[in-house]
Amino acid sequence: MEGLISLKSSPRTSLSSFPSFNQPPNSFARRFSMDLPLRRSSFPAIRAQQPGTISPKEEDEEDALKVKEWEVGMFQNEVAASQGIRIRRRPPTSPPLHYVGPFEFRLQNDGNTPRNILEEIVWHKDTEVSQMKERKPLATLKKFIENAPLTRDFVGALKAAHSRTGLPGLIAEVKKASPSRGILREDFDPVEIARAYEKGGAACLSVLTDEKFFKGSFENLEAIRNAGLQCPLLCKEFVIDAWQIYYARIKGADAILLIAAVLPDLDIRYMVKICKMLGLAALVEVHDEREMDRVLGIDGIELIGINNRNLETFEVDISNTKKLLEGEHGQLIHQKDIIVVGESGLFTPDHVGYVQEAGVKAVLVGESIVKQSDPGKGITGLFGKDISL
Ligand SMILES: O=P(O)(O)OC[C@@H](O)[C@@H](O)c1c[nH]c2ccccc12
């Protein structure tokens, strides 16, 4: 570390704040270090005379790019950490995604390995999104959106269902599998399930689009959108880049999930604005008090989801909804006229009654209804009465 001492003089960085997982690229250390042994090839002048090597200018540019990538990664993680966000974005030095040899040979827990499932999902998403972006650049998506049909009123549908039934409006989730529960339903026909949900009285539908961890897809979202149903659709994704919001809009979403455990405040502000611009509702998900505080400090949020499942450990505790709605939080939510959605782990009419009592006007339910042979009847079981009437 001593070799990096001259970094202290950089106006934008401080050595003490370097996250240990995010080491600078070698070229960076090389450039700024007085102590590192100088290899012959480090001297552009000498190397330039060797035939077949890259030019000093090329190497400089490559170095500059690596430094930039590393700096951006570092600041992003630092900003996030200062807001209590534990999920780190994929460090530039993380292990390759393709097979490079036996797993045992890779370095574990040196900061290059995801610390929990949410971090693993987010790191994988980073790679996935950069590949998708290359294939469909934002400019192309924007052109499609110009001709896309109007979105449906997601929040309005929840409010209408709540006033019609006196029960929380239901967002019924089309979910084939999850990392914590494995496959939930073998005979999985997304459109059939969506139809059954709508018939059973769901106000809105949630469609998982993550392929690797939830066995969902954007094709499912699109197919459900094209099936002629009325319910507004939530795109259930791990959004880390605004590009995904545009993509979801094209594939038929009326709303999109934004997870506060993953996104710093500035990203949430920016993404909420993009959602408004595109006619989408943003469901901003929180799991603890700190995230609730952060989200309540952001203007323009209409819909907050309280996840009863901790996405880092998979623990489910429905009293989390109650805890996060007590005291000042509850008052602020009321003043701001925000609709709260109770999410995850709801199986019985008692559970629904419990979160309603806590103050939610909507619930998001997957497992307990998707597992039933008739998911529409599953809804009747969940509420203890037929809510389709
Ligand atoms: O199947 P459950 O326990 O009823 O949960 C549904 C929904 O809340 C859950 O799928 C969920 C809530 N937030 C998420 C974020 C990503 C993936 C999935 C989720």
User: Where do the domains of the chain lie, and which CATH numbers do they carry?
Assistant: 2-122 (no CATH), 144-383 (3.20.20.70)
Residue percentage of the chain with pLDDT more than 70: 75
Mean per-residue pLDDT for 329-350? 98
Q: Is 307 in the pocket of ligand 1 (CB under 6 A)?
A: yes
Mean per-residue pLDDT for 238-245? 98
d(CA 230, CA 222) in angstroms, rounded, equals 14
Query: pLDDT value at position 86?
Result: 87
Task: Work out whether the CA dihedral 115, 184, 204, 288 comes out positive or negative.
Answer: negative
Rg over alpha carbons for the chain, rounded to the nearest Å, is 24
Measure Cα distances from 258 to 186, 207, 230, 267, 337 in Å.
28, 14, 23, 10, 19
d(CA 112, CA 95) in angstroms, rounded, equals 6
**Confidence (pTM):** 0.80
**Number of residues assigned to the chain:** 389
Report the alpha-carbon angle 97-216-96, nearest 5: 5
Rounded to a whole number of angstroms, the distance between the first and last alpha carbons of the chain is: 68
Mean per-residue pLDDT for 66-73? 65
Out of 120, 173, 306, give the residue to mutate to test ligand 1, the one with the largest number of ligand atoms within 8 Å of its CB.
173
The closest of 262, 258, 260, 205 to 234, measured between CA atoms, is: 205
4 in Cβ contact with 24 (< 8 Å): yes
* Residue 62 confidence (pLDDT) above 70: no
Cβ neighbour number for residue 182 with a 10 Å cutoff? 8
Out of 183, 343, 351, give the residue to mutate to test ligand 1, the one with the largest number of ligand atoms within 8 Å of its CB.
343
Q: Is 210 in the pocket of ligand 1 (CB under 6 A)?
A: no
Query: pLDDT value at position 18?
Result: 31
Q: Is 285 in the pocket of ligand 1 (CB under 6 A)?
A: yes
Q: Is 367 in the pocket of ligand 1 (CB under 6 A)?
A: yes
Does the complex come out with an ipTM higher than 0.90? yes
Whole-number Å distance, alpha carbon 294 to ligand 1 midpoint, is 21
Q: Is 237 in the pocket of ligand 1 (CB under 6 A)?
A: no
Q: Is 356 in the pocket of ligand 1 (CB under 6 A)?
A: no
Return the axis-axis angle of helices 327-335 and 289-296, rounded to nearest 10°: 30
Q: Is 173 in the pocket of ligand 1 (CB under 6 A)?
A: yes
**Confidence grade of residue 79 (pLDDT, cut at 50, 70, 90):** confident
Task: Work out whether the CA dihedral 67, 72, 73, 75 comes out positive or negative.
Answer: positive
